[in-house]
Structure 1
Amino acid sequence: MTRLLSLFLSLTLSSTALAAETLTVYSGRNEKLVGPLFKKFTEKTGIEVKVRYGETPQLAATLLEEGAKTPADVFFAQDAGGLGALANAGRLQALPKETLDKVDARFRSPQGLWVGTSGRARVVAYNTKKVKAEELPKSILGFTDPKWKGRLGWAPTNASFQAFVTTLRLMKGEEAATKWLQGIKANNPRVYKNNAAIIEALSRGEIDAGFVNHYYLFAAKKDKGELPVANHFVEAGDPGALVNVAGVGILKESKKADAARKLAAYLLEPEAQAYFSQETFEFPLVAGVKPSAALPELSKVGSPQLDLSKLDDLRGTVKLLQDTGVL
């Protein structure tokens, strides 16, 4: 009898394991940053998460190409531009109002098709041994001054940089964006593969200043201790003060929408928001969750008033970067 009971329990557990729901997520956020959160979500809900990691623009393009045949249920993007591209193509379904309402309107889709999960401010990181804070321009436009020749670093292939260029195009126009790119290029900036590489170069004294997202400095300090590098926030309303968001959207054709909605809701729970604040040093977007002590309050970062959904013209920005010889 005992043997029969053991066999029954074993079969029952096996069936339960086989029946466990699995979500497929295309993630433009890297595994080191968000892998632990997916693991916590699975522990809490029993829903397994199968993740395809990659760069946000490439994953957005893949999702558009795959169309209704995509295996993805959720798109977790590094920036609003990728989400906006899918929303405009009719590839996302509406999120529940209770999920959307947890986040300020400027950090979510006006149509309720995606929601921001954490905030990422554009800054100019600089080497504190080579540059005084008062020497830094108040506007990102000031870095075309020839006095910065040979002193700058940028990462033109990076999605967050391209989102900034899209912001510049929207706010100042194509001509001004072209002029800025040409001006920076004339200053012979060093080219790096990503934001982290720029911070490393700054810490070595290889460059004096670089265009990055704010949290890369804190991630580097977490790994290596104090560095001779600081973040400079440009003036309020400037294109260089953009606060973009990482965020999620649910694919229109997903057959696991209930589980997908649970993941979206989980990323806005206090546990996940505190994780973004304390572990990845991003700005939490849900009221009541404090940012890291090293950061200013999000309300004090003067991000320009801009519909982040409009940062979807990835192709237009890439074309401009190519036309100016930056890419």
Structure 2
Amino acid sequence: MIVFIAVLLVSCALLVWAQETKTPVFRTKVDLVVLTFTVTDSKGRYVNGLKPGDFRILEDGIVEKISTFADGNKPAVQVNDDGTVRPLIGSAGDSKPGIDPRSDAFVGTNVFVLFDTSNFMYRGFVYAEDAIADFVRGLDRADSVAMYSFSRNLSRAAQLSRDRGEAIVGLRKVVAGDDTALYNALLLTLRDAAKVPGRKVVIVFSNGPDNASMVAPDDVRAVAEDEGIPIYVISTNEVNKDPISSSVFRRITTRTGGKAYWAKTWQKQVEAFESIREDLGNSYTVTYYPANNPNEGFRKISVEIVSDVGKKYRVRSRPGYRPRT
């Protein structure tokens, strides 16, 4: 009996040793990458009308083959292997794997508005609603919009739709809350946006301070970065009044390809929304399937304009992402 137990223990030990010493195999799956960016000249003016052949997309220095290309809110086109283009919209059999062939999948922008209704926003609540409503009315008719609000919890006031009236009705129904869990709400919004095909952005309208979130802002930023969702932030605070929140807003917007604004007055808020609307209408969106790359960590993305010999143009985009493993 003692011998049997000893043999059994040795066998178990060998099995554990074999499992521990077995070389692990990691598999990295990278889906279609959606990259949105803007091009401006030396005076900050948008540069429109560039073609797929004007750009070179690199991931960790590896040149990528562009699958689809869109200029602003114009319909996306599929880029052929020889650089020519053809309409993306067609039958499912005509599209590449992973590209949604539906007529609305790559037309316009899916805009998720995240409105802070916490007690920090009491004083300017009504004016904020008006500024958001004006922004929604002015969106391109090809755009879809979802209206979310938050204080301690997230409220999905209006689901993603091209019906502007539905979004504004949802906006007018939101009620003021208490504590602020901005980054919890932003994470949930990003998860919703990630399920939608095509181009999407999240616009945060907030006073700034967060006193109730369970997640760190940089963890939320990483999700947006990896999913390719630009974040725009309009803060109703002064940039120097809350330096911690201001620093976070700069970081999450810059790292995702969006922008941050500080707009204490209603007029400044309207101007910030107008700037975002212009940004959406003057952005380029490309998709690509990454070439073989052993890097399982952060992959750096760079956008080069091959036709810009004098390097007069500036590209603003997210710096990269982490592939799913």
TM-score normalised over the length of structure 2: 0.25
Q: Which is richer in helix?
A: 1
Q: Which is higher, the Rg of structure 1 or of structure 2?
A: 2
Q: Which is richer in strand?
A: 2
TM-score normalised over the length of structure 1: 0.25
